[in-house]
Structure 1
Amino acid sequence: MPWTGADAEAAASRLHVAPLDEHNVALLNHVAPLDWLDPTPHAEYDLIAIGAGAGGLVSSKQAARRGAKSALVEKHLAGGDCLNVGCVPSKALIRTARAVKELRASAELGVRITGDVVVDFAHIMARMRRLRARIAPADSYAGTAAAGAHMFAGTATFTGPNTLRVESTLEAGKVIELRFRTAVIATGGRPTAPELYANVPYLTNETLYNLTSLPPRMVVIGGGPIGLEMAQCFAAFGSRVTVVVRGGRLLPKEDADAAKVVSAALERDGVEVLLSTSVNAAAQTGVRVATADGGSFSEIELRCTRSGGNPVTIACDALLLATGRAPNVRGLGLEAAGVAYDDARGVQIDDLLRTSNRKIYAVGDVCHRYKFTHVSGEMAKAAVENALFGGSWKLSSLVVPWTTYTIPEVAHVGAYEHELSTSGIEFETFRADLQHNDRAILDGETDGFVKLTCAKGSAQLLGATIVAAHAGDMVAELTLAIKEGVSVESLARVIHPYPTVGESVMGAALGYVRANWRTLAA
């Protein structure tokens, strides 16, 4: 059954996918096909994964490719948050925002644009939907089946330590009983919404990408990566954006110097940031705000208190909550399976990714503090190795880099300076600023730096932070250095092509060399 007609509209609404245009129809035919036929189950599976995000997809496909009888169960959208409401759509918007910023600054490059830079928000969102659908086959039901795993559309519930019940999401009343030798819980997480917003319309990452009209005024609650990435994008598109943060700084988990660069970039882009500000009440005013492209929004009023007790009222047309995430552990029957968990931290696992039921493993956002697609995938590889092949791959052995995709980007790997200070480890830091990097100067992108943190008196690299236009593409070199024990001195001797921003890695490492090299006596 194709994704067309009234029934399809109702189904898409339940899945929070809109609008049902040709691009989203193509997406849904890959990640939630209405005409999918569940396979005839095996008497027992070597491995069953629950949740078709990165963790479940990698677990089930890799197990099948290595000869196991494998299955994957999904009740919502294959591809998980990353494909549907996370990494993929957000980066499509960021690419457009970067283009808008470049066009508006083109006069400095000698490129004169007559008239205003016109931003077509409907086209921006249609492009995002088109590219998301283009990427979708890699995560599709058919792709999982082609890898040799059984794909089931349904809600999975543990009924015992090695059994599952799957209630079909396509055929009312259909229930399948499955037995497994090992299982992988990969149910991910969901955005949280404080109770005070219960009576106003709000957006999260699960609904933001359904917009077809640009809100004239947007408020973002939260100063973490998701909120800041989208605040910067919507400001570039033409929204008047305000970011409201309870704490005293943006990106509170990040390097403080990196956060300052991002804060300055947001300010230049017209984003208003209200730090040390608490929202006390949220209500609809009853006013409908029309947009130039024919859309409309319900006005929302937020009553806040700033530091010092000063009251402030903010009106907006779109409210984006980026206030954190919670693991998806409810309704899985974990008690019946003997799997320990709690609502805040999720499923409890050991260093081999095993739950309290040693035949059941967990990966990704449902159990781990690093909520990144690449971490889920890496954990899944370890789970398959440990569960089926007697491996001893340890979670603690992972060296995890991550990137915040603001403009400029912030990438990090290893320990932060504040973490080392708290632990009492002595360290020293070497820094190369992009204002001294020739390629950054030529590109007009000199806001940023490379910072390397070493054990004091040693060339051992403990942590690194990069702030640059393409910091995420640069951090792998430093991740490898930490993982394989490559010294900072060796990094200084790696020849980097000239002129590249990547030379700043060498430049920061040369700081260590200069501090420690031998000199001739006078």
Structure 2
Amino acid sequence: MVVGAQATELDTVVIGSGPGGYVAAIRAAELGQKVTVIERGDIGGVCLNIGCIPSKALINVGHHYQATQQTNPFGLTVGGAELDWQKTQDWKQHQVVEQLTGGVSMLFKKHKIDVIHGEASFIDNETINVIQEDDHQLLQFNNAIIATGSRPVEIPSLKFGGRIVDSTGVLSLPEVPKSLIIVGGGVIGSELGGAYANLGTKVTIVEGLDHTLNGFDKEMTRPVLKDFAEKGGEIFTSATAKSATQTDDDVTLTFEVDGQEQTVTGDYLLVSVGRRPNTDALGLNNTDVKTDDRGLVEVDDQMQTSTHHIYAIGDITPGPALAHKASFQAKIAAAAISGDPTAHDMHYSLPSVAYTNYELATTGETPESIKEKQIDAKVTKFPFAANGRALSIDEGVGFIRMITDKETNAVLGAQIVGPGASDLISEISLAIENGLTSNDISLTIHPHPTLGEAIMDTAEVADGLGIHI
């Protein structure tokens, strides 16, 4: 502790107010804790302000714009559609982002959660120093939940600035670019690349791996890549980005493929090669909290660190950097502080989604994982082309794939490609969490005609009693 300084005594301190931090704060307050949130930026964190939410808003605009540019098979002709980019940006910011972040602030007030704006760092195991412009204050806490999230990785040879942007900057470009280069073909790069391709941008993706959309298998990504190519998109895999040069009007990337150096020029260059945890400036070296060589905080199944009254959640913990993972962990940590003995007593089925033009979603086991684990399981597929609702909305591309145990028929996992995948996957996660079987799903009445019926149909096929295929 700083000599001579008087620390304010607090109950539960939450550092960060993203989907992990704000959920932890609200849940902790609901459980009777007096909560103080420390936030260095805007309430809502990266996800609500400059990540998940605004990116999905832009993806939505791309879908609608693309729909006006095509000749529809069902006889609807739309012509003369124009995009007012400034109005798009205003809608994204004021009608989407600010409405959600304002809602979080309102919930903080409702639950009597105090907010301190500033940069937090640990002085020791019980004390935090908060830097606020030219001032600072010391806080002594009973419990702390660290939810500081992550930030984009910057490549030394492709430093952010000017026409080289990160995933935040690409959401607020001054105009829709005629051409866009993306280094990194993961979920973020592929989602944003697809969104701009829908808006008429010529998109080039340069990816270091031999495939894009890592985490989703080739059978799943095939329709996405085909659609991207049809919109003029180009992808270079097993490629190494070397350097970039900028002018006032464009940026040129030099990269290497198969030992051959190539260049591509675009209006902007998005670098999206992963994220790193925001733990390096937290002063964790002044505490007994253990981190690994990547800066990730070691936690147990109640999100407790090696220091019993300090917890960590979200992107700064091992595992996928997903907002819903952070929110889930937030509830566990808040409950653990309140002494809930069942906080960790649950199966962990974590869905993952890519909001590409054909949505991708996966949860639980995959065909690859059951081979690796030598699980005796069955893989069943059902195409959206056999689903009445999908055909009626002209969305017949894709499929549902279900993994079930051969002996018990328990649902172990699923993958979905196609319309509504991001929403449909939750039914499978629920089935996995509760140990349901394919028969439990097939005997559950699904309304007709719906996309959800395809899950029931997949389960029927898994039971050996498929009707619609």
TM class, shorter-length: over 0.9
Question: Which among 290, 294, 302 is matched to residue 340 of structure 1?
Answer: 290
Judged with a 3 Å threshold, the aligned counterparts in structure 2 of structure 1 residues 459 and 345 are, in CA distance, closer, same or farther, namely farther
8 Å CA contact retained: 1:65, 1:148: no
Question: Which among 303, 319, 337 is matched to residue 254 of structure 2?
Answer: 303
8 Å CA contact retained: 1:217, 1:240: yes
Question: Which among 347, 356, 374 is matched to residue 406 of structure 1?
Answer: 356
1:76 aligns with 2:45: no
CA distances 1:117-165 after superposition (whole Å, capped 9, x unpaired): 323222222221122122221233x542331122111111111111111
- How far does residue 421 in structure 1 lie from its aligned partner after superposition? 1.1
One-letter amino acid of the structure 2 residue matched with residue 119 of structure 1: L
Counterparts in 2 of 1:351-370, with a 5 A limit?
351-370=301-320
Query: For residues 283 and 109 of structure 2, what CA distance do their matches in structure 1 show?
Result: 26
Classify the secondary structure of the residue corresponding to 2:73: helix
Query: For residues 219 and 301 of structure 2, what CA distance do their matches in structure 1 show?
Result: 33
Question: Which among 268, 275, 279 is matched to residue 325 of structure 1?
Answer: 275
Query: For residues 252 and 358 of structure 2, what CA distance do their matches in structure 1 show?
Result: 31
Question: Which among 174, 178, 184 is matched to residue 212 of structure 1?
Answer: 174
Query: For residues 410 and 404 of structure 1, what CA distance do their matches in structure 2 show?
Result: 5
Aligned residue number for residue 228 of structure 2 = 266
Task: After the TM superposition, list the runs of 4 or more consecutive aligned residues in structure 1 that deviate by more than 6 angstroms.
Answer: none
One-letter amino acid of the structure 2 residue matched with residue 321 of structure 1: V
Classify the secondary structure of the residue corresponding to 1:494: coil
8 Å CA contact retained: 1:75, 1:153: yes
Query: For residues 386 and 149 of structure 1, what CA distance do their matches in structure 2 show?
Result: 19
Aligned residue number for residue 68 of structure 2 = 103
Aligned residue number for residue 454 of structure 1 = 404
8 Å CA contact retained: 2:17, 2:44: yes
Judged with a 3 Å threshold, the aligned counterparts in structure 2 of structure 1 residues 127 and 55 are, in CA distance, closer, same or farther, namely same
Question: Which among 142, 151, 158 is matched to residue 115 of structure 2?
Answer: 151
Greater shift in the superposed pair: 452-461 or 376-385: 452-461
Query: For residues 245 and 297 of structure 2, what CA distance do their matches in structure 1 show?
Result: 36
Alignment gaps of 5+ in structure 1: 1-40, 290-298, 518-522
1:491 aligns with 2:469: no
Classify the secondary structure of the residue corresponding to 2:20: helix
- How far does residue 382 in structure 1 lie from its aligned partner after superposition? 0.5
Counterparts in 2 of 1:55-70, with a 5 A limit?
55-70=20-35
Counterparts in 2 of 1:402-441, with a 5 A limit?
402-441=352-391
Aligned residue number for residue 31 of structure 1 = none
Query: For residues 218 and 376 of structure 2, what CA distance do their matches in structure 1 show?
Result: 19
One-letter amino acid of the structure 2 residue matched with residue 164 of structure 1: I
Classify the secondary structure of the residue corresponding to 1:491: helix
Higher relative contact order (CA 8 A, sep 6+): 2
- How far does residue 167 in structure 1 lie from its aligned partner after superposition? 1.6
Question: Which among 42, 49, 52 is matched to residue 87 of structure 1?
Answer: 52
Judged with a 3 Å threshold, the aligned counterparts in structure 2 of structure 1 residues 153 and 494 are, in CA distance, closer, same or farther, namely same
CA distances 1:442-499 after superposition (whole Å, capped 9, x unpaired): 2111111000011233301111011122111111111110000110121112221111
Classify the secondary structure of the residue corresponding to 1:389: coil
Aligned residue number for residue 198 of structure 1 = 159
Query: For residues 280 and 243 of structure 1, what CA distance do their matches in structure 2 show?
Result: 14
8 Å CA contact retained: 2:66, 2:199: no
8 Å CA contact retained: 1:200, 1:283: no
Judged with a 3 Å threshold, the aligned counterparts in structure 2 of structure 1 residues 396 and 513 are, in CA distance, closer, same or farther, namely closer
Judged with a 3 Å threshold, the aligned counterparts in structure 2 of structure 1 residues 315 and 516 are, in CA distance, closer, same or farther, namely closer
8 Å CA contact retained: 2:40, 2:118: yes
Query: For residues 231 and 75 of structure 1, what CA distance do their matches in structure 2 show?
Result: 30
Question: Which among 109, 115, 130 is matched to residue 94 of structure 2?
Answer: 130
- How far does residue 64 in structure 1 lie from its aligned partner after superposition? 2.0
How many residue pairs are counted as aligned between the two chains? 460
Classify the secondary structure of the residue corresponding to 2:65: helix
1:119 aligns with 2:100: no
Judged with a 3 Å threshold, the aligned counterparts in structure 2 of structure 1 residues 42 and 110 are, in CA distance, closer, same or farther, namely farther
CA distances 1:371-413 after superposition (whole Å, capped 9, x unpaired): 2222111111110111222434228733221221112111111
One-letter amino acid of the structure 2 residue matched with residue 259 of structure 1: T
TM-score in terms of structure 2 length? 0.93
- How far does residue 182 in structure 1 lie from its aligned partner after superposition? 1.0
Question: Which among 183, 189, 197 is matched to residue 150 of structure 2?
Answer: 189
Aligned residue number for residue 34 of structure 1 = none
Aligned residue number for residue 16 of structure 1 = none
Classify the secondary structure of the residue corresponding to 1:304: strand
Query: For residues 199 and 333 of structure 1, what CA distance do their matches in structure 2 show?
Result: 26
8 Å CA contact retained: 1:459, 1:489: yes
One-letter amino acid of the structure 2 residue matched with residue 94 of structure 1: I
Classify the secondary structure of the residue corresponding to 1:435: helix
CA RMSD, Structure 1 to Structure 2 (Å)? 2.1
Judged with a 3 Å threshold, the aligned counterparts in structure 2 of structure 1 residues 415 and 70 are, in CA distance, closer, same or farther, namely same
One-letter amino acid of the structure 1 residue matched with residue 168 of structure 2: E
Aligned residue number for residue 18 of structure 1 = none
Greater shift in the superposed pair: 101-110 or 260-269: 101-110
Aligned residue number for residue 33 of structure 1 = none
8 Å CA contact retained: 1:364, 1:372: yes
Aligned residue number for residue 179 of structure 1 = 140
Query: For residues 261 and 334 of structure 1, what CA distance do their matches in structure 2 show?
Result: 45
- How far does residue 359 in structure 1 lie from its aligned partner after superposition? 0.9
8 Å CA contact retained: 1:379, 1:395: no
Query: For residues 7 and 131 of structure 2, what CA distance do their matches in structure 1 show?
Result: 17
Question: Which among 206, 226, 236 is matched to residue 188 of structure 2?
Answer: 226
CA distances 1:162-203 after superposition (whole Å, capped 9, x unpaired): 11111224xx22x22111111101000001021110286411
8 Å CA contact retained: 2:31, 2:338: no
8 Å CA contact retained: 1:439, 1:499: yes
One-letter amino acid of the structure 1 residue matched with residue 18 of structure 2: G
Query: For residues 160 and 330 of structure 2, what CA distance do their matches in structure 1 show?
Result: 39
- How far does residue 355 in structure 1 lie from its aligned partner after superposition? 0.7
Counterparts in 2 of 1:23-38, with a 5 A limit?
none
TM-score in terms of structure 1 length? 0.84
1:245 aligns with 2:207: yes
